[in-house]
Amino acid sequence: MVQLIDGRKAAQTVNEATKQRVKLLKQRGIIPGLAVVLVGHNQASERYVRMKEKQAQKLGIYSVLKQLPEDISEVALLEIISVLNHDDRINAILVQSPLPAHLDETKVIATIDPNKDVDGFHPVNVGKLYLNLPGPYPVACTPRGVMTLLEFNQIPVKGANVVMIGKSSIVGKPLAALLLNAGATVSVLHSQTRDRQDFLKTADIVISAVGKAHFLNDADFQPQTTVIDVGQNLDENGQLVGDVDYPTEPTNIRSITPVPGGVGPMTIATLMQQTVEMSEWGL
């Protein structure tokens, strides 16, 4: 039987620690605050934001949702972010992606105060990550959650050959940086990569963030490979699946994160964890 890497169990441990930190902060009169900005009515984004709000309430975090119309002007959106930058109740700001096409996402992210950029996407925070500077500073939540999941399951990263499939600024690039900083040898594969199998057949850990259902299967890996599946896809039956299709008794996959129940819970747990940390930085 394939060993499943339980993201829900790891997330529960992170959330319990976060809840205790919130409790201690409240004893000092401090309530961590998270603001989520949601533009339009993307169903997936709305569902994800509801999950964030629910978890924040469970943990005692002050949560604000700014749900804005699809046709909001860029000037108006930037003004809302500026107000949140100066709101002392808010320690962390998240602008939910994707944004409507008429909005410049790069400009929107750059408007967030780097010290409140809980997603870790601001150029200042990205630069600190790539330079491996000492913290504290926020790091992209999904990549940080993956690193926590690997540590929680005692999967060694230092010295490991890791293949990262996908070079997005949300997952692939920051996760590659975290892995390099942790001592792994990292190959980043993407749509222009030739001879993908040559990389996969030497990998100890493969992380897929492609966003294509059944993009990989057990035969693509070498024996005893650990697979982290970041994919969130709907199959032909409307079921949520990852990038990797595998049998109950695979030949090559030693352990894998299921979808759902793998990386997803860690992303939200890390968002809450980082929000609380950011409320502590100025103390």
| Residues annotated as catalytic (active site), given as ranges | 52, 96, 119
Quote the DSSP letter at residue 156: -
**CA 223 to CA 251: how far, in whole Å?**
7
Which H or E run includes 65? strand 62-68
CB 270 within 8 A of CB 141: yes
CB 171 within 8 A of CB 139: no
- Return the closest-CA partner of residue 102 out of 69, 74, 77, 67: 74
**CA 222 to CA 205: how far, in whole Å?**
10
**Which phi and psi (to 5°) does residue 127 adopt?**
-60, -40
- Return the closest-CA partner of residue 257 out of 70, 1, 7: 7
CB 94 within 8 A of CB 34: yes
- Would you call 32 helix, strand, or coil by DSSP? coil
Helix residue ranges, H only, 60-203: 74-85, 105-111, 123-130, 141-152, 172-181, 196-200
Residue 27: alpha-carbon gap to chain centroid: 30
Q: How many CB atoms lie within 10 A of CB 135?
A: 10
Q: How far is CA 59 from CA 152, 182, 277, in A?
A: 21, 30, 13
